[in-house]
A = this chain, B = another copy of it.
Amino acid sequence: MSDQSPTPAESSYSYLGPAGTFTEAALKQVPDAAGKTWHAVNNVAEALADVVSGRSTAAMIAMENSVDGGVSATQDALANVPGLRIIGEYLVPVNFVLVARPGTTLADVRTVNAHPVAYAQCGTWLNETLPGHGHIPASSNVAAAAALLNDSHADAAIAPPGITEHYPLEVLAEDIGDNGNAVTRFVLVSRSRAIPAPTGADKTSLIVELPDDVSGSLLGMLEQFSTRGVNLSLIQSRPIGDSLGRYRFIIDADGHIADERMADALLGLRRFSPNVIFLGSYPRADKQTIEFTSRYDDAIFIEARQWLRGLLDPNHTAG
């Protein structure tokens, strides 16, 4: 099988399972994934390993949550696993329900099973409604719910809203998250090196290391974008891991590598940074058209190159 052209018949997708997770909800947004084989996996590393090995054509992984921030496991995996490309972005609203075995009431709940992140996001509601409850951590939101039907010591679980389609549980309370507008951003990752065509509403994801000291070189790195009129929607630091104080930066920049200003910023970054990873250019989930001043139009870049070429050519006539 060629790297670039998996035949459609072979297409398959990995995602953090089981059925009912927010990740599955993200994958449902992908038209090409409909009717294909879906592999439920246990974590980001497994999902990406499926892509690298060719078991799956692509994997849906959580990138960032509006409340919790960047998903460290995803960011670190993208920095360390070579050859991956982001080909799409998807947003899923994050709501939680409290579920229990049929017959349980809120008053019965002493112990709650929940993934630590979900548990943290429901802290206000839990502390007000169930003061003194205990917490048993689970490996996923769906696993927490499923465990109630096995030998769980918990009385209730925090789970996604659609959980009752998959398990015979009862909803004790809805919309228990602290932030009703919470949303998680997922990305679809593949090995394909074909870059989705520019749409005018694109983003480019990068991982960039800095040459030496953090503050001066962070300034220098940001100038690579600002001097080309490229705005950033995300910049996060992650430790490189070898010692305290060494960071790489996870960056989402407005625009597409096919845009002249972005291509020029990438050249500047590559020269500036000891390590730049291009994770891909792809359509933004929010479909917002990128705005930039006309100073950074493609035509301006092209004209400047022609001007320079004319200067270097002694037989050129224009001034």
Contact = CB atoms under 8 A, between A and B. Distances in A.
A243 B179 CA distance: 9
A215 B222 contact: yes
Contacts of A267: 301, 304-305, 308
B214 A233 contact: yes
Interface string A254-277: 000110000100111011100000
B223 A235 contact: no
Contacts of A247: 235
Interface in A180-206: 181, 183, 185, 192-195
Contact of A215 (B73, B225, B239, B311): B225
A236 B194 CA distance: 32
A233 B219 CA distance: 14
Interface of A: 3-4, 45, 64-69, 72-73, 82-83, 91, 116, 120, 123, 135, 137-139, 179, 181, 183, 185, 192-195, 211, 213-216, 218-220, 222-227, 230-239, 241-245, 247, 257-258, 263, 266-268, 270-272, 278, 295-296, 300-301, 303-305, 307-308, 311-317, 319
